[in-house]
């Protein structure tokens, strides 16, 4: 079976060692404590779409440490308690928009999306770091875990799920999260950092097994890290120490909810070995859907699989 990475037989066995710092658990416990304590100050503004039996809203809420995070929310018009799905988007993109949320919302599910701060949506990134960075967001604040960009993104994503769970019409006991690439990475991280999800559906997840990803990948965002270290060779250990806190390889053992991951064996942006290595550290109920000829993309067939899983788990 073809792969731009390891053969499938090796992928099934690949399980790199965790490389957590001693304060890994306290670091995340404190970060999430702060994220949950901070008021959301959420605002939902009705958005006009000629939909039947579904209402749509533009969303704003307070980002972790400041700034306003943008997104979209769709809910059934009728009264009741409904399951919810939170969606996260890919690198440099923007949150899922209403026409791509309506399929779930029309099935009686409340759906929330989030623009990652500073990327191509409408969310503000007000975090200040003491020094500059390589192009993109992968190295913003990379000299210090507390200042690193993805500390804020992961915390924002947990807060987005809290916003969804806190809605009067949402059954907080029936929540799922999903996303592709960066959105898949965020789904994994939120699964590890929040006890809210009962189902996690990360597709072709990014931010896994950083050391291997940076070493073997020439496409996508990972080369930003190599570019930074090329400019600052002495910062190699410091950079990977920071990244260790945000590597889903290290977060994977914390995931408890049912998780179904997709992977493409021709993916040269998020190499399959990095995804398999992370998957093998998960001890939750799990499965991995393998697409042998897919690159950095989600198969239509897998979209159907996810739709069926959401129906099965959230609306039995």
**pTM summary value:** 0.98
Residue with tokens 């002495």: 234
Q: Which of 267, 273, 281, 302 is catalytic?
A: 267
Tens digits of residue pLDDT in 215-225: 999 999 999 99
pLDDT given at position 2? 56
Judge whether 200 counts as a catalytic residue.
no
pLDDT given at position 1? 44
Percent of the chain, pLDDT > 70? 99
Q: Which of 89, 280, 281, 296 is catalytic?
A: 296
pLDDT given at position 315? 85
pLDDT given at position 130? 87
Judge whether 296 counts as a catalytic residue.
yes
Q: Which of 3, 113, 123, 181 is catalytic?
A: 181
Domains and CATH numbers, the chain: 8-41+83-314 (3.40.50.1820)
**What is the chain's pLDDT, residue by residue, as a tens digit (316 residues)?**
457 899 999 999 999 999 999 999 999 999 999 999 999 999 999 999 999 999 999 999 999 999 999 999 999 999 999 999 999 999 999 999 999 999 999 999 999 999 999 999 999 999 999 899 999 999 999 999 999 999 999 999 999 999 999 999 999 999 999 999 999 999 999 999 999 999 999 999 999 999 999 999 999 999 999 999 999 999 999 999 999 999 999 999 999 999 999 999 999 999 999 999 999 999 999 999 999 999 999 999 999 999 999 999 998 6
């Amino acid at each position: 079976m073809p792969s731009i990475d390891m053969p499938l037989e090796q992928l099934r066995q690949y399980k790199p060692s965790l490389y957590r710092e001693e304060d890994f658990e306290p670091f995340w416990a404190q970060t999430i404590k702060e994220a949950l304590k901070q008021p959301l100050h959420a605002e939902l503004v009705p958005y006009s779409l000629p939909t039947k039996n579904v209402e749509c809203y533009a969303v704003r809420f307070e980002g972790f440490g400041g700034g306003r995070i943008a997104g979209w929310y769709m809910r059934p018009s009728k009264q009741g308690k409904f399951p919810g799905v939170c969606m996260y988007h890919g690198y440099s993109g923007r949150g899922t928009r209403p026409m791509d949320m309506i399929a779930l919302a029309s099935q009686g599910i409340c759906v929330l999306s989030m623009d990652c701060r500073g990327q191509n949506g409408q969310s503000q990134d007000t975090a200040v770091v003491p020094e500059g960075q390589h192009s993109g967001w992968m190295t913003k604040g990379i000299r210090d875990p507390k200042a690193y960009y993805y500390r804020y993104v992961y915390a924002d994503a947990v807060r987005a799920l809290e916003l969804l769970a806190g809605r009067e019409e949402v059954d907080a006991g029936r929540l799922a999260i999903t996303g592709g690439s960066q959105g898949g990475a965020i789904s994994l991280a939120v699964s590890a950092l929040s006890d809210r999800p009962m189902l996690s559906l990360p597709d072709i997840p990014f931010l896994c097994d950083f050391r291997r990803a940076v070493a073997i990948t020439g496409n996508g965002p990972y080369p930003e890290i190599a570019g930074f270290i090329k400019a600052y060779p002495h910062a190699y250990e410091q950079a990977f120490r920071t990244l260790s806190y945000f590597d889903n390889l290290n977060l994977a053992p914390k995931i408890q909810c049912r998780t179904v991951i997709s992977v493409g064996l021709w993916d040269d942006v998020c190499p399959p070995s990095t995804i398999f290595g992370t998957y093998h550290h998960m001890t939750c109920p799990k499965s991995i859907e393998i697409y042998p000829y897919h690159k950095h993309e989600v198969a239509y067939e897998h979209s159907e699989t996810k739709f069926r899983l959401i129906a099965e788990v959230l609306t039995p």
